[in-house]
Copies of this chain bind each other. A is one copy, B any other.
């Protein structure tokens, strides 16, 4: 019988043992993380509010409960040996209490507290001399309006809700006073509009020992008209020096936070090749999904290695990778059908990932497709073909 000692300094026995990893959130990120806990046979407990969560399967025990509720999160944390999360919207006070009681919570609630509030996050970059676009913080919408009136803030600027902004909610470009009219009266920031030629991202992985690695820079390619990310491309088709700068900045961000686990650093490349940090996500990230097929070690496996204080895996790519999100088509709600999926499966190097949500809704993230190829231009052509073929619709 193994006695698991949580604070033991010797290498722990995670594999086919009594050790339990707790994961807050049971969405697609959790589901993809579970593929690696299964590969290593590491026990997992998952907490999610939905009984239909994508991670309901593949974990050792699934708990249905509110991630924002102190008691629910605290009691869940008491059952596990290491606690992580796949979503930032979790009860921070419970994480802090668990950590103060000796539980290993990775990423740290301290980091999460800084990140959860976008104003505090921007202040952190300034305090650490990390490049980010100029901004001002306001504790309410009225204060922002007053600043606009007395010209401390001038149009155009980007309004961002300080908290609970997620997947494009809580962000708006303000070009005139009328754009402020229907905004919620919440703490917010006003960011200068910085013209940029590329939106980039770098995923950093760091373990408690301080070992740290970055993945290659990825590039978001936008649809020329819809202003929507169409492709995440790895490696980014940018100058090597710019790429090296982006990776160096991402490293600094992770180290400044003393971060443990994955940190996805979203950045802008301005017209004059300045790199500005946009925001970070302390978890596996959409911009790293390509890594499952393209990298020597996927972002999910490296997150797991990091939070368990195991050596980090090679973040290099075997081949070029492009990711296309599968989102529910407008005008379709109900039981999902992945139209033409058999056609994209017929193309070499194409791997669909279906998250396991039975019901589609307009713009709901239902899955993604990875395209890999030795040649990035070939991969890019295939990605376009995939994008044209696949449709996420309902059968009704």
- The 8 A CB mask of A6-32 against B (1 = contact, 0 = none) is 000001010111000000000000010
Inter-subunit contact B38/A31 (CB<8 Å): yes
Judge if A154 is at the interface, Cβ distance under 8 Å: no
Q: Which residues of B contact A39 (CB under 8 A)?
A: 35, 351-354
Assembly CA distance A34 to B60 (angstroms): 15
The 8 Å CB contact of A38, one of B41, B58, B296, B336, is: B58
Inter-subunit contact B38/A395 (CB<8 Å): no
Cβ distance A16 to chain B, nearest Cβ, rounded Å: 5
Inter-subunit contact A336/B35 (CB<8 Å): no
Whether A372 touches B318, Cβ cut-off 8 Å, given contacts A40-B352, A311-B342, is: yes
Inter-subunit contact A296/B372 (CB<8 Å): yes
- The 8 A CB mask of A50-74 against B (1 = contact, 0 = none) is 0000000111100000000000000
Inter-subunit contact B41/A355 (CB<8 Å): yes
Assembly CA distance A285 to B53 (angstroms): 32
The 8 Å CB contact of A16, one of B2, B311, B319, B356, is: B356
Judge if A357 is at the interface, Cβ distance under 8 Å: yes
Assembly CA distance A387 to B58 (angstroms): 29
Instruction: Count residues of A near B (Cβ-Cβ below 8 Å).
Output: 49
Among A332-383, those with CB < 8 Å from B are 335-338, 341-342, 345-346, 348-349, 351-358, 372, 374
Number of copies: 2
Cβ distance A289 to chain B, nearest Cβ, rounded Å: 12
Assembly CA distance A369 to B310 (angstroms): 16
Judge if A139 is at the interface, Cβ distance under 8 Å: no
Cβ distance A111 to chain B, nearest Cβ, rounded Å: 24
Assembly CA distance A313 to B346 (angstroms): 7
Judge if A128 is at the interface, Cβ distance under 8 Å: no
Q: Which residues of B contact A176 (CB under 8 A)?
A: none
Q: Which residues of B contact A356 (CB under 8 A)?
A: 16, 38, 41
Judge if A1 is at the interface, Cβ distance under 8 Å: yes
Assembly CA distance A352 to B301 (angstroms): 11
Judge if A314 is at the interface, Cβ distance under 8 Å: yes
Q: Which residues of B contact A335 (CB under 8 A)?
A: 1-2, 17
Judge if A104 is at the interface, Cβ distance under 8 Å: no
Inter-subunit contact B2/A296 (CB<8 Å): no
Inter-subunit contact B314/A348 (CB<8 Å): yes
The 8 Å CB contact of A58, one of B16, B58, B313, B336, is: B58
Inter-subunit contact B345/A310 (CB<8 Å): yes
Cβ distance A210 to chain B, nearest Cβ, rounded Å: 15
Cβ distance A62 to chain B, nearest Cβ, rounded Å: 11
Assembly CA distance A198 to B311 (angstroms): 36
Assembly CA distance A104 to B58 (angstroms): 26
17 A-B pairs whose Cβ atoms sit less than 8 Å apart in the complex: A13-B395, A15-B336, A16-B336, A16-B338, A16-B356, A17-B335, A31-B38, A40-B352, A41-B356, A58-B58, A296-B349, A296-B372, A297-B351, A305-B345, A313-B348, A314-B348, A318-B318
> Interface of A with B (CB < 8 Å)?
1-2, 11, 13, 15-17, 31, 34-35, 38-41, 57-60, 296-297, 301, 305, 310-311, 313-314, 318-319, 335-338, 341-342, 345-346, 348-349, 351-358, 372, 374, 395
